[in-house]
Amino acid sequence: MGKGYLEIEIDREKAARFGVSVEDAQLEIEIAIGGRVVTSTVEKRERYPVRVRYSRIEREDENAVRKLLVAGTRSAKMNRDTEPLNKVLPGGDIHKAGGAHLGGGLRVIPLSAFADIRVTEGPAMIKSENGQMMNAVTLNVRGRDMVGFIEEARRVVEHKINLPEGYHLEWSGEFEHQLRAAKTLLIAFPAVILLIFLILYFTYKDIADASLIMLTLPEALAGGAFFLFFFPKIQNGWDSPPFDFSVAVWVGFIACFGMAAETGIIMMVYLREAIENRGGLENIKSIDELRETVLEGAVHRLRPKLLTEGVAILAIFPMVFSQGVGSEILAPMALPVLGGLLISDEVVDLFLPVRFFWIRKARWLKLQEQKAKNII
């Protein structure tokens, strides 16, 4: 919202006809409305300015300002100028403006006789930046991604608004932090995936097992994207748009990848442990025994895996339906984690043992071929 400003526009032609200079008129306006420092008083080591200013009743509104009197000179054209003054001064007597003739052939003219005085609406505060006048238009974005809104707003403004010469627009706000965070995530996201793979490799000393666990990440990504698309439609109606990919969503996916890898690690630990309990691949006699061993690690130890997964899901589930301050960040961040866990957990429980069996079967067949060659 703006505020009222008193604008005084002096008509130079009318002022010249009345013998009033623009400088005298501006000086009178300055003294009447703003006041002017004429001297200063000294009290010990302190100086105080003495300001001359009209009383409040003579400057309280635009009507009072219109009656301000400005000294003008008597000229040969004075008789021709009495008609405009008769319309301004009550009674049509120009001498009543000042009460009497001023010395030196001067007379006083009301400000409204040669100036346009009006109240206009302007900005509540006049600001400047880099030596230029600046006005800020602020707004809050709700229900959609800030970066997407700014990009759309820029296109609309450039298409529909022609700025006058000397004007320019700058877009600033919280979306700039999101842009910087997105650039950081372009580096952090691949770094996180690479770091997870390196940790898995140094843990198992087996590229195949590390790759099996890394296969849970695309499945977690699919689950998170699935929830981002369908959850708003289930909650608010089928016409609701999906969640936009904001920084909170990317952070949720990073957390989802870590938890999906954790679930895969738990399954991998039990599968490898089941093989070791049989004395390793070299002590397994047949493929059926290998299949039975893998089933033992996958099925017989299913309860602790489900408990671990269930605790994580129950902890994240309330964040999806959070309300109040911070909910616009918690829900987009929790949805990828929840969706990724629900989908990746099922994939891990069903497909990871199958893939593990394929790899161990290939290795067991290779061991059998080597044993046969050694016997020959």
What tens digit of pLDDT does each residue of 170-192 get? 888 877 877 787 788 788 878 88
What was the pLDDT predicted at 328?
A: 64
Which tokens sit at 30? 């300055």
How many other CB atoms are found less than 10 A from the CB of residue 193? Answer: 15
Contact 305, 349 (CB under 8 A): yes
Which tokens sit at 273? 């442990």
Report H helices in 146-285: 146-160, 175-204, 207-214, 216-236, 247-277
Task: Tell me how far apart the alpha carbons of residues 28 and 336 are, in angstroms, rounded to a whole number.
Answer: 70
Spell out the per-residue pLDDT of the chain, length 376, in tens.
Answer: 678 888 999 999 999 988 888 998 998 899 988 888 989 999 989 999 999 999 888 888 888 889 888 887 654 344 444 444 444 444 444 444 444 444 455 678 899 999 999 988 887 777 888 888 888 888 887 766 677 788 888 899 888 888 888 888 888 887 787 778 778 878 887 888 888 888 888 888 888 888 888 887 787 888 788 777 777 777 777 777 677 667 778 778 888 887 788 778 888 888 888 888 888 878 888 888 888 888 888 887 677 777 777 777 787 777 777 676 666 677 777 888 888 877 777 777 778 888 888 988 888 888 888 877 777 6
Contact 356, 268 (CB under 8 A): yes
Q: Which segments of 82-228 are extended strands (E)?
A: 106-110, 115-122, 127-129, 132-134
Report CA-CA distances (Å) from 239 to 142, 229, 230, 294.
17, 11, 10, 46
Q: Cα 25 to chain center, whole Å?
A: 49
Specify whether the backbone of 139 is left (phi greater than 0), alpha (psi in -120 to 50) or beta: beta
Contact 261, 196 (CB under 8 A): yes
Q: Cα 304 to chain center, whole Å?
A: 43
Q: Which amino acid type is present at position 265?
A: I
Strand, coil or helix: 2: coil
What was the pLDDT predicted at 187?
A: 86
Q: Cα 283 to chain center, whole Å?
A: 62
Helix, strand, coil percentages in the chain from 3-state DSSP, rounded to 5: 65, 10, 25
What was the pLDDT predicted at 42?
A: 92
Domains along the chain with CATH numbers: 3-122 (3.30.2090.10), 128-160 (no CATH), 175-375 (1.20.1640.10)
Residues 6+ apart with CB under 8 A from 307: none
